[in-house]
Structure 1
Amino acid sequence: MESKELVTLAAQACDEKRASDIVVLDMSDVSLIADYFLICEGSNERQVQAIARELKDQAEEQGIEVKRMEGFDQARWVLVDLNDVVCHIFHKDERHYYNLERLWGDASTVAVEGLQS
């Protein structure tokens, strides 16, 4: 599965669990870490965990290895590493504090709707 398809799958999985403010950053020209960062938030710990679990389940159903999942138990910032796509699922309070969109400001934002075309 190509990274664009993978980030589309990730965005849809997050949306299914009502993640808020889903942002996709194209990291290909900025970093060697991943092709895309997906950033979203949940309103409480249970929702953050539900989003992460749905993302993991949908990836595994497609035969995609989840390389690592960090922060699930605390559910303040869960990182799901899908190799070419790294998903950051924040509790709404933590997202504002870490502000990854500003930190990686050189990366272009990709419209989630545009990924599906």
Structure 2
Amino acid sequence: MAGAEQAKAGGRRSEEGSLFAREAARLMQDRHCTDVLLLDLTGISQVCDYIVIGSGTSDRQMRSVSEEIGKLGKDTGYTWCRTNSDPSSTWIVVDFIDVVVHLFEPSRRAYYDLEDLWSDARQVEFAQQG
């Protein structure tokens, strides 16, 4: 693939990632996750372009939301790479390569404080317009 074609494909993938990350954030908010945050790490991280962070109210809710996010990815052609969670389900990570979703139990979220770790990232609005 020539340089210009690669740049065009990369831009298209980044746009798809942005749209998917917004949908995932909205889904988390709709399913009563709290303090949902979407950060744009484009140009900051070599690992992913977007992270979505939210707090759950219970391990059952967090597992359910992670499954729904996986289904959202599948339905939109954005299939996930893997899901990891700690044994007590206080932190679930759903990895879509370009987009990584973190579901936390509130005290675990405060402990790891990803918001501070990525404080140089731009916060992205994800509320549905109109």
The correspondence of residues 50-61 of structure 1 with structure 2, limited to 5 A, is: 50-61=64-75
Cα gap change, 1:116 to 1:4, in 2 (>3 Å): farther
CA offset at residue 55 of structure 1?
A: 0.6
The correspondence of residues 38-53 of structure 1 with structure 2, limited to 5 A, is: 38-53=52-67
Structure 1 runs of 4+ aligned residues shifted over 6 Å read: none
The answer for the alignment partner of 2:99 in structure 1 is 85
More divergent stretch after superposition (102-111 vs 68-77) = 68-77
**Is the aligned partner of 1:108 residue 2:122?**
yes
Q: In structure 1, what residue type is equivalent to 2:109?
A: R
Tell me the C-alpha RMSD between the 2 structures. Answer: 1.9
Q: Secondary structure of 2:43's partner?
A: coil
CA offset at residue 74 of structure 1?
A: 2.9
* Paired residue total: 116
Q: In structure 2, what residue type is equivalent to 1:69?
A: T
TM-score by length of 1: 0.89
What do residues 6-35 of structure 1 show as CA deviations (whole Å, max 9, x unaligned)? 112211221231111110111012111111
Q: In structure 2, what residue type is equivalent to 1:33?
A: V
The answer for the alignment partner of 1:14 in structure 2 is 28
Cα gap change, 1:80 to 1:116, in 2 (>3 Å): farther
TM-score by length of 2: 0.80
Matched residues in 2 for 1:88 and 1:42: separation?
A: 10
Structure 1 unaligned runs (5+)?
none
1:14 touches 1:54 (CA, 8 Å); kept in 2?
Answer: no
More strand by share: 1
Matched residues in 1 for 2:47 and 2:129: separation?
A: 23
The structure whose RCO (Cα within 8 Å, separation 6+) is larger is 1
Larger Rg: 1 or 2? Answer: 2
Q: Secondary structure of 1:83's partner?
A: coil
CA offset at residue 116 of structure 1?
A: 5.5
